[in-house]
Chains A and B, each alone.
Chain A
Amino acid sequence: MKLAIIKYNAGNIQSVLYALERIGMEAVVTDDHAELLSADKVIFPGVGEASSAMNYLKERELDTLIKSLTQPVLGICLGMQLMCTHSEENDSECLGIFDTEVKKFTGQLKIPQIGWNLVQEGKEPLFTGIQQDPYCYFVHSYYAALCEETAAVTEYGVRFSSALQKGNFYGVQFHPEKSAIIGEQLLKNFIHL
């Protein structure tokens, strides 16, 4: 099993690598096209800002590469948001894999949402074997709107997509690498797809 983590100008990549190690998996962190294409599973993590991340990906032609992947791909947090059509964060065109928009939280809310929130209506296979409505750890100011591809729902002032799935593409808004044993189970589920 070859696991690859996409290397780009976003934070939190180490945390994902260490979380995989904790469940006994090794991964390579790379932006090499051939390595990514030949991986069995690809993880697209990220904490950062949408437009600078998209620019970085485009400069290295990783945008077209990610869209062309046929093996299971898991976007985490910003990674998932970049897989949507567009983000309100600096009006960024994104990869357009998931057919939904990324919007900023508004209203009388503390932003970013920081902490543990309920993940409801989680679908298989990502949520297989995970208790109903688990708590997962979120840190974000933008959210993916509900859509046909929503694979879990969380509420913070608004109901939004805390997971997305379309074919071989998966995404989670929360951080499985920081969500204790629930997150570890979700990563295992992805790896064993």
Chain B
Amino acid sequence: MGRFACRGAKAQSDFMLTKRIIPCLDIKDGRTVKGVNFENIRDAGDPVELGAFYAQQGADELVFLDITATVEKRKTLSELVNKISHHINIPFTVGGGISSVEDVSVLLQNGADKISVNTAAFKNPQLIANLSKEFGSQCVVLAIDTKQEADGNWYVYLNGGRVKTDTLCTDWARKAVDLGAGEILLTSMNHDGTKQGFALDITATLAGTLPVPVIASGGGGTMEHFVDVFTNGKADAALAASIFHFKEIGIPELKAYLKNKGIVVRI
């Protein structure tokens, strides 16, 4: 009896907290990259304008991933974050090359809600502990790029997928959560760019065992893929880039579709 009551309460809470749809914008030198083409906005290369468009379309959050490699990077990024936070009325995460408490402090002061760390956190796991202690785990997103090898295991990759490690994705995710990561942004390199669907098994493994939300990334190509990742993949949120940028899927129609399939979304 007690067990059933408990499960009922869980199901009820799951029912109310919505699954999130998160467009990802790649930024270089303060501009969005990957040519996007929207007739209803003036300058799709402007991250602020594109972000505001997605917010107005019903995106639940935004991720801005900075791929700038120049020395001016920090200044350009903090100025951009400041502009974004002035104009956008939903939460946003900033990632890309963040490696210190000081980097994060500047971005949060300029209005970012969360930051994501990847390679720097793997090389120095204490960074996660320091960030969560200083700013709270709710703003520390750990991004993991992972790939399933021939042995069937999922390994962590670094430096934008260029460097393989011998660490299992599940082990690193668990350790990072223990250190204070508040969310996991999981990108499957096997699926990224394929539009053949998200990596359901590894997503479900993490989402089903970790006490923090898991954002699935890589492979979303159809609206059915989003249904799959929220049901079979147990993901708390799904992130995609080009399908939104190239208008292959509109956020309003995606949310209507998900709702129709019984998935709780904010409309």
Which positions in A face B, CB cutoff 8 Å?
Answer: 11-12, 14-15, 18-19, 21-22, 47-49, 107-118, 135, 137, 139-141, 154-158, 175, 177-181, 183-184
Closest-by-CB residue of A relative to B137 is A112
Q: How many residues of B contact A (CB 8 A)?
A: 35
Give the secondary structure class of B's interface.
mixed
Cα A12 to Cα B109 with chains together (Å):
8
Residues of B within 8 A of A19 (CB): 89
How near does chain A come to B17, taking the closest CB pair, in angstroms? 5
| Number of residue pairs spanning A and B whose beta carbons lie under 8 angstroms apart | 97
Which A residues lie within 8 Å of B16 (CB)?
117-118, 154-156
Instruction: Assess whether B162 is interfacial by the CB under 8 Å rule.
Output: no
When the two chains form their complex, are residues A115 and B17 in contact, meaning their CB atoms are under 8 A apart?
Answer: yes
Q: Are A18 and B111 in contact (CB under 8 A)?
A: yes
Q: Which single member of A14, A155, A175, A179 contacts B85 (CB below 8 Å)?
A: A14
User: Would B182 and A178 count as touching, CB distance under 8 A?
Assistant: no
User: Which residues does chain B contribute within 8 Å of A140, judged by CB atoms?
Assistant: 138
Contact at B9–A116, with CB atoms within 8 Å? no
Q: Type the 1/0 row for B1-44, where 1 means its CB is closer than 8 Å to any CB of A.
A: 00000100110110011101000000000000000000000000
With A15-B111, A184-B89 given, name 11 new contacts (CB 8 A).
A14-B110, A15-B85, A22-B87, A114-B138, A115-B18, A115-B20, A115-B213, A115-B236, A155-B13, A177-B89, A179-B90
Q: List 10 A-B contacts (CB under 8 A).
A: A14-B109, A15-B111, A15-B113, A18-B86, A107-B9, A109-B13, A110-B212, A111-B211, A112-B137, A116-B266
For residue B108, CB closer than 8 A to chain A, the reply is yes
Which of A49, A109, A180 is packed against the most chain B CB atoms within 10 Å?
A: A180
Which residue of chain A lies nearest to B110 when distances are taken between CB atoms in the complex?
A14
Within 8 A of A (CB), among B92-129: 108-111, 113
Q: How far is the CA of A107 from the CA of B8 in the complex (A)?
A: 12
Which residues on A sit within 8 Å (CB–CB) of B90? 137, 178-180
